[in-house]
Structure 1
């Protein structure tokens, strides 16, 4: 067989697709001022149409572009599977980086750039495997709905949320979904462990608005909006939320205890911390899932040093344990105190789904086939994904972007961080695992 006749496999082109996506600046500032996802969506369209598919490009508003494709499975009577990614990224300050964040430089066996882990790596794996379907004609056991959403980094209002609300027909008959921030590896006591995301915390971005009496900065003012806001922000930011371990977290910690030859006692906070620490870099996600969190993230007040403003505002990023949302909001309101209005900027549900079933079995088996002897455990994501939006259609969502990583790579720390990068070999590994899963799920 000549080189010209050598078949192209997904792992042969996944790195190039990932680099091409990273080089398209799709920074999402959350206020509509970014470049949008149109150019990336057009690349996705070209990659899919080139191999014979007919995807649909849909815009919620001009420039905010999503792409959806439905591929018939061998048994279309079964419920469909949604395989989805997002093409937007958080902004990157180039001066803070070691490389140009949008150059997709390959250095030391890694692809560097904004989106390399969140989530143009997974986008590339999806596209590479789906392109193989188009080239060779193989089909998954059930209908596959491939979606590349806009606006995930701002809560999906212009992407997944909009499509669920305005185009639910695109997801007709689907009952499960697979997307980002799960399936990556870490090491526990020398054993490779893959964390499959089966839960994610609730989300509430809350604006606190304090009123007061405006006046001259030299005068006595006992009705100062900045002081009132500062007190509320301090109380909320310093609040010690109680430990609340859900079924997913308990299952994870039990698995870690088994691997380390210790025991898991849900009443022992120090023991819990030791188990979390055993997860290496992954502890950054896991530690935040032991309890609700509330982090002040924005402040705004005044326009001149000697003028006391009549209003001050700040934003708090609240991530609640699934099911605790109402209780958490009541606590935030109490901590804010009198004279503070609370305005939701964006809110979304927490999720927790079973670590069981045919799809989970297919994911675990695919990992085992490529990395025999590895362990797969469930975990809760401290952030959120577009699975929140799909859940409104009754679709059960998992996080499974399979990557075999070096144990010392701080993968969770690169989400929204500086010098984001992903190993080339991890992308190729992910393609092989993803293809196995899609052939059997």
Structure 2
């Protein structure tokens, strides 16, 4: 087999994946991931693997393959990425979100950072290594999943529920969102490695009252009850709760920036982090944001019920406190039910795998400092953690200092620098050697 060069391939792989429409609106009516899964499976088969395409529903496809390592008696490592992307309005974009256009040194398109970039980097590294006859030190399982953008019911959750045997021996996992750089100055960059995720509580609130004519007195108005509950939740100031990951992050950053860390005012330290403050600020506390309201069907009719939706996120170790607070804020006449509920997760920033990530980053960027952080959102790692895996967000990208990377996720004009993709290939290759 002719040896392949991952740095030469990665940009083309990323563009190809972006051009495959795999938008997921969460209602199981889109194009699905089948076309993207077939593309990935073909690229893996070309270098001697035997990938399996597993459909959880019509066109909702996942790809799983295993690479035998030099020492198959060791615990295995999972590399995972999702194939679906969120919807878009093409008229808002500078370049069409399915074009995979290269402009201004970047690949543009939906999924460029979330997360077809990582899918492409994994493919490029695996294809290069196998074409050169280089096996990893231990077994590596590859999983390219469906439906992550809607919670993973057709993807990682379905795989772990129905095909857990494919992940036999996997005790550690690498996926999104982490490994990207944040510049401190020209010589130093933080690389944020995700070691924790907030839990998810998407809730439907329902207020019930007494229906009646809009011109009459009514002290059991469902709309009023609901509006007051939503207002209490939306305006509530959640207390700061510093988890171990956040404490470690703040200590590392304070030392690197020579800032005085006031443990009683963590927000003051975070406020000095510039654009990063938006991402990190959401990990200092639980959050609950009202997102939808519905009630009534005619201007002069008081409805019997009214509903609202709230996006709740709770820190590891603070789920009970979160729900106790929400229930108190709701009041006696409003109930809640889950639209979607998933766990919070956290692991320590230590051990051989963490050292392998940090060493690979420093080898390619001498100014790198790897630090842990908490993701305010959620990923497929929640599902894989149920199989006993310790997981990290590590999709390594060295980014320009002026790129608003966090704003790219689900945003307009999503793009990733081509040099960052090539950097990621080099780092992942070193990481696999050291894992």
Distance 2:388 2:331 in 1: 37
Do 1:41 and 1:66's aligned partners in 2 also have CA atoms closer than 8 Å? Answer: yes
Aligned length: 434
Corresponding residue number in structure 1 for 2:408? 414
Change (3 A) 1:95 1:309: farther
The answer as to whether partners of 1:254 and 1:263 remain within 8 angstroms in 2 is no
**Equivalent residue of 1:355, what SS?**
coil
In structure 2, which of residues 371, 395, 398 is the aligned counterpart of residue 404 of structure 1? 398
Offset of 1:6 from its aligned partner?
Answer: 8.5
Q: Which moved more, 1:293-302 or 1:322-331?
A: 293-302
State whether structure 2 residue 313 is matched by structure 1 residue 319. Answer: yes
SS in 1 for 2:54: strand
Which residue pairs with 1:81 in the alignment?
Answer: 77
**How many Å apart are 1:53 and its aligned residue?**
1.1
Query: Secondary structure, in 3 states, of the residue corresponding to 2:282?
Result: helix
How far apart are residue 291 of structure 1 and its match? 0.6
Q: Deviations over 1:35-62 (max 9, x none)?
A: 2111111111111112221100111111
1:373 CA drift (Å): 2.9
Flag as ranges the 4+ runs of structure 1 deviating above 6 A. Answer: none
Which whole-Å deviations, capped at 9, do the CAs of 1:91-138 have from their partners, x for residues lacking one?
A: 112222222111111110011111111111111101111111332221
Aligned to 1:25: 21
Give matches, 1:215-230, under 5 Å: 215-230=212-227
Please give the alpha-carbon distance, in whole angstroms, between the structure 1 residues aligned to 2:139 and 2:380. Answer: 20
CA distance in 2, matches of 1:63, 1:313: 33
Say which SS state the counterpart of residue 20 (structure 1) adopts.
helix
Task: Provide the TM-score with structure 2 as the length reference.
Answer: 0.97
Q: Is 1:138 matched with 2:125?
A: no
Cα contact 2:183–2:189 (8 A) shared by 1: yes
1:60 corresponds to 2:65:
no
Alpha-carbon distance between aligned partners in 2 of 1:137 and 1:305, rounded to the nearest angstrom: 71
Query: Is contact 1:207–1:343 with CA below 8 Å preserved after alignment?
Result: yes
The aligned counterpart of 2:38 is 42
Deviation at 1:293, TM superposition (A): 0.8
**Distance in structure 2 (CA, Å) of the matches to 1:139 and 1:202:** 36
Matched residues in 2 for 1:276 and 1:179: separation?
Answer: 25
* Aligned with 2:258 (options 253, 261, 264): 261
User: Which shifted more, 182-191 or 121-130?
Assistant: 182-191
Displacement after TM superposition at 1:212 (Å): 2.1
Q: Are the aligned partners of 2:65 and 2:143 in contact in 1 as well (CA < 8 Å)?
A: yes
Counterpart pick for 1:154 among 143, 150, 153: 150
CA positional deviation for 1:301: 2.1
The alpha-carbon distance between structure 1 residues 98 and 304, as it changes in their structure 2 partners (threshold 3 A), is: farther
1:212 corresponds in structure 2 to 209
Aligned partner (choices 177, 182, 188) of residue 181 of structure 1: 177
Shift of 1:192: 1.1
Alignment CA distance shift 1:106-1:320 (3 Å): same
> Residues 192-234 of structure 1, C-alpha deviation per residue, up to 9 Å, x if partnerless?
1111111111111111111122333333332222222111111
Normalised to the residue count of structure 1, the TM-score between the two structures is 0.95
Question: What are the Cα deviations for residues 241-292 of structure 1, in whole angstroms up to 9, with x where unaligned?
Answer: 000111111111111111121221211x2xx334323433332221110111
Equivalent residue of 1:289, what SS? coil
Name the SS for the 1:182 alignment partner: coil
